[in-house]
Amino acid sequence: MKHIDSLDILYAVGSLIAFLGCVWQLIDVSRIYFAYDTNVNVMFEREIKVEIPGVTICANLGMIANEDYLRENYRSRLESMPEYPERKYRAYKKLLRNLTLDEQLNRATISAKQLFHECRIMTPIAFENSTENIDGFIPCSHVAPIHEFLTYSKKSK
């Protein structure tokens, strides 16, 4: 068993004084704060603008290739690849990696409209009476524009 020495007693007394000082300060500040009248006016409005967070969707580059564009513009390069046509997606991926970023994003791969069947979100309060409100969902494009890839330019297809 440990003996209580004077240092332990001094520490306990100091801690008690500090605690009582904190309680006194809290009571004093609370009295001043609650002495003033407070008016709270709350007004709820239906939001018209709804923001959808940005979403990044990663896909296998070879699987989203625009096959018509690649065959039309790079037929000879594709036919010279040992993977083509048996493993065409591997050949597409290899070819796409050697194209400029602009060409990859805007011509050599399919657009978001071809990749996704549809984009719908739960109907926000402001859109409840919309004619597009089907089963509690509306198209994403009615709430915020859909921007593709690195630039705001849309793909042609």
Write the burial class of residue 66 (CB in 10 Å: 0-12 exposed, 13-18 middle, 19+ buried): buried
Asked whether the beta carbons of 99 and 65 are under 8 A apart, the reply is no
pLDDT at 91: 85
What is the per-residue pLDDT for 15? 95
Q: Give dist(CA 50, CA 37) in Å, integer.
A: 36
Q: Which residues of the chain carry a pLDDT beneath 50?
A: 150-157
Question: Counting Cβ atoms within 10 Å, is residue 139 exposed (0-12), middle (13-18) or buried (19+)?
Answer: middle
Would you state the pLDDT for residue 156?
Answer: 45
Q: Give the per-residue pLDDT at 109.
A: 83
What's the pLDDT at 114? Answer: 75
